[in-house]
Amino acid sequence: MALMDFIKKQFIDILQWTEDGDGTLAWRFPMAEMEIQNGASLTVRESQVAMFVNEGKVADVFQPGMYKLTTQTLPVLTYLKNWDKLFESPFKSDVYFFSTRTQLDQKWGTPNPITIRDKEFGIVRLRAFGIYAYHLVDPQAFYQKISGTRDRYDREELAGQLRNTLVAGMTDLFAESGVPFIDMAANQEEFGRAMFAKMQPVFAEYGLALDSLVVQNVSLPEELQKILDQKIGMNMIGDMQRYTQYQVANSIPDAAKNEGGMAAMGVGLGAGVGFGQVVGQAMAAALPQGGAAPAATAPAATAGSLSPDEVVATLEKLHGLVEKGILSQAEFDAKKAELLKKLT
């Protein structure tokens, strides 16, 4: 009787995986020197896939369900082992279980600043981070390219590889898209969608499906962040002419406070652009259409009538220029009289 009990223990009649924790992606059923009983029961739970491997070659794959292991339910293994259809003897095979649960809240990011080439700013160093989620869909590809013959393969072992893959994909995305970095960084949601589309086929090569990817932050160098803030404030990204006017208009009050400041600023504006012209353009950009800022070299020509609200708004802006020392009181009074005529 003891001999029969010993013999029975050498055969496996139930194969199943009861996950004892979170984060295991692949687990090999412990066979030791035992064999699988012909007609044994295989239980594959929801969020699992089972796969038989014969001498390194992938055989049959089982989705969730309960199976009786025979030559009918193991057609690939039967072929690899050259079994007869009436084969009923115990057999050996490696059996792997894979978890198909979604792996949520996985973090990615640049451990160190990465260098990219931007068409507008040249060489740029940046940091970025976010979260993503994925799940296993192709156990054969995952076994062949990732987990191999290990007894257990955990999520943490894969995290570093996936993080590096995402960072490399982000770098390539900037290079391929041709979109200026400052525009991409200003719209992180769109950036995340572009990264998601690019990385889906890369994850598929590993037997994984990328479920979501979010860019939570893109850190700019300080000098680029200042430029971005100014462009957003002016709502004119890409319009460099108006951006220059904005910069000049902002610098006029400070220059007027310093002796020789206005002249020095005019010298620094660059060849081919007169100081009076640039100041006039800057002041014109600050006023509503139909009311040009008065200047000694530019005639004040307006057409059509203005509403009372437009006149009041224009006068308030002109008065602000008087307080900053840009306009004289006489120039303000002349412009005021001109605007009031438009109400009649």
Q: Is residue 321 domain-resident?
A: yes
Question: How many structural domains does the chain have?
Answer: 3
179 and 204 co-located in one domain:
yes
133 and 217 co-located in one domain:
yes
**Averaged pLDDT, 301-313:** 65
Q: Is residue 109 domain-resident?
A: yes
217 and 129 co-located in one domain:
yes
Q: Is residue 196 domain-resident?
A: yes
Query: In the listed set 51, 73, 99, which residue is the last one of a domain according to the structure?
Result: 99
Query: In the listed set 71, 99, 127, which residue is the last one of a domain according to the structure?
Result: 99
**Averaged pLDDT, 72-84:** 90
201 and 282 co-located in one domain:
no
Q: Is residue 1 domain-resident?
A: no
Which residues 6+ apart lie within 8 Å of 304 measured at CB?
A: 290, 342
Q: Is residue 156 domain-resident?
A: yes
Average pLDDT, the chain: 78
Q: Is residue 159 domain-resident?
A: yes
Window from 199-203, 218-222, 223-227, 228-232 with minimum mean pLDDT? 228-232
210 and 239 co-located in one domain:
no
Alpha-carbon gap, residue 202 to 302, rounded angstroms? 61
205 and 271 co-located in one domain:
no
> What are phi and psi for residue 330, nearest 5 degrees?
-65, -40
23 in Cβ contact with 154 (< 8 Å): yes
61 and 130 co-located in one domain:
no
| pLDDT above 60: residue 228 | yes
Percent of the chain with pLDDT over 70: 73
Alpha-carbon gap, residue 73 to 68, rounded angstroms? 7
215: containing domain: 103-223
| pLDDT above 90: residue 19 | no
132 and 211 co-located in one domain:
yes
Q: What is the pTM of this model?
A: 0.63
| Nearest C-alpha neighbor of 14 from the set 35, 43, 34 | 43
196 and 237 co-located in one domain:
no
208 and 236 co-located in one domain:
no
pLDDT level of residue 270 (50, 70, 90 thresholds) = very low
What is the per-residue pLDDT for 61? Answer: 96
Query: In the listed set 99, 134, 169, which residue is the last one of a domain according to the structure?
Result: 99
129 and 201 co-located in one domain:
yes
Q: Is residue 2 domain-resident?
A: no
188 and 262 co-located in one domain:
no
Q: Is residue 181 domain-resident?
A: yes
Q: What is the CA radius of gyration of the chain?
A: 36
